Amino acid sequence: MDIQLEKNSGPEALIKINLKEADYQPKFKEKLKSYSKQANIKGFRPGKVPMSLIEKMYGKSIMVEEINKILVDSLKEYIKENDIKIIGDPLPNNEKAQEIDWDTQKEFDFEYNVGLIEDFDYKLDFKINKYQIKVEKKVLDEAIDNLKEQYGKMTNPEVSVARDSIFGTLAQPSTEFSKDGLIYIDKVAKKIQKTFIGLKKDDSVKIDIQKLFADEKDLVEMTAMSDEEVKGLSGEFEFTVKNVNRVEPAEMNQEFFDKIFGEGKIKSEEEFIKEYTKIFEENYDKESEYLLAHQIQEKILKDTKMEIPEVFYKKWILASNQEIKEEDLEKDFEHYVRDLKWTLIKNRIFEESDVKIEYADIVDYTKKMFQAQFGGMELNDEMSQNLEVMANNYLQQNNGEHYMNVHNQLRTEKIMDILKQKVEISVKKVTREEFEKKAEK
């Protein structure tokens, strides 16, 4: 057998394989012999079918099968031994393969296209800003007020004020339309919000139905109708009040503290604000870290020069995923190339580090994922043991796909940890609004 790599002008190449009769004949004869022992053909005792008959009946298909196995194994071995870094898998030259005469040929030539990963350099000697969001008192106060309303007490006052909701009947006598629904005053279009303030039971107001809300979705929610049905409503409607609903905000007392943080963990308003501020800071820091990771990735991608075998890569994507259409691939190909580059860079960074990922690390990471679903609460011994079982069961499900997904997530995080240690990071405190502008860019 002769295998040769022929490089083209660029990051693509051909692997040519010349297969002689001596390369496949032993395996072919061995397979014929095995078939003759197992074949059940009328007129012959089991295991006594002549090999010549088996070869006449099944010889061509057996030879094709054995040659394909030899080709696959030889390609893998050649690529590994010669340390040829490729993208995806070798693609066979099907046109050349179709020219083969399996009935008469004894020697065969095959060709495989490969996309090469050429050497590249990445740089980490750069500076970058981490934008840390300041917890502003106004934002914190609004969040606490929303929390107090969420855990507040529902009342039914006589007269409506802003932020109340009103339950009543929406009707249009001319079409005999009538439906009960709930109107949140703060969702009503600003021009007519005053119409719904000062209302009491049995009061009625006339409204243009399509101008009731600023957002069309609120009319869908209020009427519990489909988008199409709501679009069919038009003209003047009458809304008659059945009752006014108001949420009396929860008081800053021990009952409220216990509901939010658990019994006895917070004992004063000062402790509550301090702990709630910490939650804000942690959540903000997650957003800051996410943006920082994105900025580092973009900077490395921008500065890393890498030639991608685009023609081969397109062919390989289409060959390996039949669901992707060529026109869709052309439209999104820039994103495919970007993802490929980042994957290659990440692989290099990880290979050059001394970081290892053991099964125990993957189990611990999975446990943290589950614990986050429980709100990050502390677990007792029994719950911790159950979490261990849950994590192991999860990793073994779906034919190992869950395991690979978690492994890849953990690997990506560890790679980003490596990068954050190597690049020079300056922390800049910004307001929420300033951060969102940075994130938009």
| Statement to judge: residues 85 and 161 lie in one domain | no
Stretch 206-221: mean pLDDT:
93
Average pLDDT for 227-234:
91
Least confident window among 169-173, 319-323, 358-362: 319-323
Query: Both 279 and 414 in a single domain?
Result: yes
Residue 136 lies in a domain: no
Domain count along the chain: 3
Residue of 402 and 37 predicted with greater confidence: 402
> If you ran DSSP here, which 8-state letter would residue 134 be given?
P
List C-alpha distances in Å: 337 to 86, 330, 344, 437.
Answer: 15, 11, 11, 27
Domain contains 53: yes
Q: Is 363 left (phi over 0), alpha (psi -120 to 50) or beta?
A: alpha
Question: What does the pLDDT read at residue 441?
Answer: 80
How much is the pLDDT for 295?
A: 96
- The pLDDT tens digits for 77-129 are 999 999 999 999 999 999 999 999 998 999 999 999 999 998 899 999 999 99
Question: Which pLDDT score, from 0 to 100, does residue 373 have?
Answer: 76
What is the biggest distance separating any 2 CA atoms in the chain, rounded to whole angstroms?
101
Domain of 20 in residue numbering reads as 2-116
Regarding whether 298 and 426 lie in a shared domain, the answer is: yes
Q: Do 200 and 275 fall into the same domain?
A: no
**Mean pLDDT score across all residues of the chain:** 92
Q: Over pLDDT 70: what percentage of the chain?
A: 98
Distance, CA of 240 to CA of 222 (rounded, Å): 14
CATH number of the domain enclosing 161: 3.10.50
244 and 213 in one domain?
yes
> In angstroms, rounded to a whole number, what is the distance separating the alpha carbons of residues 191 and 162?
13
* Whether 377 and 278 share a structural domain: yes
Instruction: Verify that 103 and 8 share a domain, yes or no.
Output: yes
Q: Between the CA of residue 250 and those of 264, 274, 431, what are the distances in Å? A: 18, 18, 29
Domain co-membership, 12 together with 100: yes
pTM for the complete prediction? Answer: 0.75
- pLDDT at position 159, please? 97
Residue 45, pLDDT above cutoff 80: no
**Matching residue, tokens 């490089």:** 7
Q: Which of 162-176, 331-345, 363-377 has the lowest mean pLDDT?
A: 363-377
Q: Which residues contact 168 (CB under 8 A, 6 or more apart)?
A: 180, 181, 183, 239, 240, 241, 242, 243
Distance CA 391, CA 364 (A): 8
pLDDT digits (tens, 9 = 90+) for 400-424: 999 999 999 999 999 999 999 999 9
Q: Does residue 292 belong to any structural domain of this protein?
A: yes
What type of residue sits at position 370? F
Q: What percent of the chain has a predicted confidence (pLDDT) above 90?
A: 80
Residue 260 belongs to a domain? no
**DSSP state letter for 94:** H
Same domain, 84 and 166: no
Q: Are residues 243 and 213 in the same domain?
A: yes
Tell me how far apart the alpha carbons of residues 358 and 387 are, in angstroms, rounded to a whole number: 18
With respect to residue 109, please indicate whether it lies within any of the assigned structural domains: yes
Identify whether 322 is part of a domain: no
Listed residue (306, 300, 313, 315) closest to 346, CA to CA: 300
Residues 280 and 428 in one domain: yes
Q: Domain check: are 415 and 285 in the same one?
A: yes
Q: How far apart are CA 304 and CA 253, in angstroms?
A: 57
The CATH number of residue 70's host domain is 3.30.70.1050
Flag whether 146 is in a domain: no
